[in-house]
């Protein structure tokens, strides 16, 4: 697992329109990079809506929100349009970035074990250094926790 103070792994992933976005493109801005299991599921939708509701407050603190899942760009487009999401969603269908950030893990649900994305948020500073990690982030409170963290800074 990545540690606070270490350099965030670089990535280059497509958005809903197929445009590539890399971590280096965001130098000079802070980022909340959040990994989530799947578009249009209850927890992931609640988390996205919480980010939508706090989006302007987070932007005012020089923070960009970027969501990453293994969903396709088309799925992201539908999800963003359905919920009027103002932030970027990136597709990692090859699981490269998901694995680089250590969020592809064994999960247990109803006694069944499988591999999947563990909901995790990384706050990255202007120079690409990890400032804060929210492992097993709660969908309903993650955005508020990030705001509280930024207020402490």
Q: How many residues does the chain have?
A: 153
Match 């120079």 to its residue by tokens: 127
Q: Distance (Å, rounded) from C-alpha 102 to C-alpha 82?
A: 29
Q: How far is CA 72 from CA 29, 92, 127, in A?
A: 26, 8, 29
**Which pairs count as long-range contacts for 144-147, CB under 8 Å and 24+ apart, including other chains?**
144/50, 144/54, 146/32, 146/54, 146/58, 146/63, 146/121, 147/54, 147/57, 147/58, 147/61
**Catalytic site positions:** 44
């Amino acid at each position: 697992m990545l540690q606070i103070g270490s350099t965030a792994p670089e990535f280059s992933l497509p958005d809903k329109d197929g445009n590539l976005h890399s971590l280096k493109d965001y130098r000079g801005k802070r980022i909340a990079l959040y990994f989530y299991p799947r578009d249009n599921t209850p927890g992931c939708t609640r988390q996205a809506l919480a980010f939508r509701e706090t989006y302007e407050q987070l932007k005012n603190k020089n923070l960009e929100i970027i969501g990453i899942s293994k969903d396709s760009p088309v799925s992201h487009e539908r999800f963003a349009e359905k919920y009027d999401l103002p932030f970027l969603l990136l597709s990692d269908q090859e699981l490269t970035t998901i694995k680089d950030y250590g969020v592809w893990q064994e999960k247990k649900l109803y006694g069944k074990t499988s591999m999947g994305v563990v909901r995790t948020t990384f706050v990255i500073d202007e120079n690409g250094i990890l400032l804060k990690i929210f492992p097993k982030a709660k969908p309903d409170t993650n955005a508020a926790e990030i705001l509280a963290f930024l207020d402490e800074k």
